[in-house]
Chains A and B, each alone.
Chain A
């Protein structure tokens, strides 16, 4: 019952995003066809043909109906720029983003949780103060600026753009190394910003847990501090922290857009930036739907995960 409600809520959110996206990009003044054909020989007939091709000559409600029924079939419309289905264009760029976001999230979660646990356990120690200070500072750092800074500081050590060189040997090891080499700066940038937040979350989560009565009981039982921490406090504090990691997925998405823009990483974030310069409305609309969809699904997962891991929630 609870599950059905959650899934239903997520589905409703997605529908709302679709509706919002459609009307947001339709209220803009201006004829996309003029933008598409600016600066090159065009005849009036060609413009009319383009308008018909993209369905821009039909009334708004008809366009909406077409778009919405298309959505149900997985059709996100056609990109102005690429003249291909938006879904195809997005799929093409999914891989690099998953690689970057996946690597960065994994490292950030492990590092952030570890830092948070240590900082919380030795509260007010030098380690805590430094970790907290650095985390707060990193949280204040604009992602793109950190990226530019890293690029300037590292100089020639790392490639300045993209995911791989075109002249790398085609064998797997060379290719993997090349991608890894390119991955360093973007993932460090993304990790730095995201990790700070995870560390802060984990620290506060553990601090709350440490005041729980059962820990006092455990200590009273004569268990050593270290063991109390590892066996009792951390597992219980990790749960809300992990849930928050899923909930905060929007943060990673935002970070990915700016990071990919700075490093020309060929993923969805860069596609987003490129779509802005058109602007390619159908593509933007599709990207909005896909990123929001990813975040909605992550939230749903967080909910479900929470239910599975925490018996108290399951019982309710």
Chain B
């Protein structure tokens, strides 16, 4: 017994205190922190941003967006051509691209994927909106895909649908129950999924046969963190190499940290304050209980004038945002609209007060005009702080606010049922502005039962709707851009919502481990959450990146502690045994 314990003690001491032997050739690994869960690895079902991000690494789309300027570039297809009536599109899938198991990628894989989505409603779960307008997809030969649409569609080169290998997916019995975790997962992207432990990590290895060329390092690991605080802490310690979605204060805390480089990028997201413009269903029946005074556009404009956007950006975003105006963030330069000097609403509480007086809402005896409710999400730092500012700003012009911070679910319920006056919201936008513009058309309002519809602000405006229809079938890009800008100007003028800010994307990486990343766009762009996989694909390992194992000091301390405890037990047992005879 005694001998065994001693031996155990010896082992514990040795194992704990000696440094581990360094393997000759350690693989170069990029470790990325993710905060959001992975809902599914099945690309037809995955809807979380984190999952689609991993999906982009596993599967190429038919077309891609260039890293430098986000213009449409080669994906699986390298050429595309619409017919004269814009109803038939022909895509060419060139020879030489292979799935990660070596099978050639053909047009039949593409047709199979789209066809599956058109025939199986489960396959439409994640990306169904892209094929809603498709009439027929065929592959007359291995190189050609022909898509016929029901109506002309300008977004045909922006089909964000992962194309899956037909020879693998044909064998899937039930799409609904398929987790797509038969490792390694056959794909076409720069990385191959090799392991997924839910709640812990995702491992991918470089696809050496990737048609653009193999990535510059061996493995890509996504490590799950429960909050961004923990992720930032791990970056500071060197436990991970890349972190995004930092809060401004966290970003600031990394300033000057050795071995860490920060990336302040223009983001795809905007934050808005919705103003209930008198919500109605699709059949123009009133819905919800929004304050009727907000139906008057003069009142909405006055509210917008009373909000100091610059102060919000400075104090709440700590300067890590740009002042808002139109629906398309500046990162998508082409479609971004900024108000001209004549259109711009400057911050002017006095003018706002005067406008309210003129609109028939003079201050009462207690100095107030009318009260409004403001709903935001509890636990979202922005809402909690911005609510305080708005309470004060609008209080100053005689509109006391009743602030309610509620759960995500309750917030959605209120905005869907239109039981709000003012509410915080926000959207992530895509390169093609169609989706974010479509949210504000009359057709997106809910049906008579209050269900259905995905309207954001209950906006319904004839001018806006006419412009929306025009841009959807305008194949001349310059003219389409012009229309899109007119729509944003109209939205700004009618204020169903005030776009408060375009949030910066705040990222940080271990530059002592990875020298550089490809951002999208090249100037001021993001590394993670791109419209593509360039950030991960283009990561450049630093010299001697594989050296320096981390955190062994703690492991040694742990070993020492274990050894100490074993020692204590041994001593205790011995003492007891030694005195046992005498005691009894």
Contacts and interface: CB of A to CB of B under 8 A. Distances in A.
Contact between A and B in the complex (any CB pair below 8 Å): yes
B428 A93 contact: no
Contact of A173 (B15, B122, B562): B15
B200 A158 contact: no
Chain B, interface SS category: mixed
A42 B439 CA distance: 10
Interface stretch (A134-142, A203-211, A246-254, A263-271): A263-271
B143 interface: no
Interface stretch (A47-55, A59-67, A212-220, A304-312): A47-55
B283 interface: no
Interface in A102-159: 154, 156-159
Interface in A142-182: 154, 156-167, 169, 173-174, 177-178, 180-181
Contact of A34 (B23, B226, B413, B435): B413
Interface string B12-52: 00010000100100110101000001011000010100000
B473 interface: no
A2 interface: no
B223 A162 contact: yes
Interface in B542-558: 551, 553-555, 557-558
Given A49-B124, A161-B234, A167 B29 contact: yes
Residue picked from B26, B29, B551, most chain A C-beta under 10 Å: B551
Nearest to A183: B558
Nearest to B127: A41
A158 B224 CA distance: 17
Contacts of B15: 173, 177
B301 interface: no
Interface string A22-44: 00000011111011111111111
B230 interface: yes
A46 interface: yes
B104 interface: no
Nearest to B160: A41
A180 B558 contact: yes
Interface stretch (B94-102, B243-251, B402-410, B499-507): B402-410
Contacts of A169: 20, 23
Contacts of A178: 555
B203 A166 contact: yes
A29 B226 contact: no
A35 B203 contact: no
A29 B416 CA distance: 12
Contacts of A261: 226
A83 interface: yes
B462 interface: no
A60 B200 CA distance: 36
A166 B31 contact: yes
A163 B409 contact: no
Contacts of A277: 408
Given A35-B412, A156-B553, A224 B583 contact: yes
B73 interface: no
Contacts of A166: 29, 31, 201, 203, 221, 223
Contacts of B224: 162, 264, 266
B239 A273 contact: no
B390 to A, nearest CB: 22
Contacts of B124: 46, 49
Given A34-B412, A38-B412, A279-B407, A181 B237 contact: no
Nearest to B47: A40
20 contacts: A29-B410, A29-B413, A30-B413, A37-B454, A41-B435, A82-B37, A83-B125, A159-B551, A160-B230, A160-B237, A161-B225, A161-B233, A162-B224, A162-B225, A184-B558, A224-B583, A264-B225, A266-B199, A270-B199, A277-B408
Given A34-B412, A47-B451, 11 more contacts: A31-B413, A37-B454, A41-B130, A49-B124, A53-B122, A89-B198, A165-B239, A169-B23, A180-B562, A181-B554, A278-B409
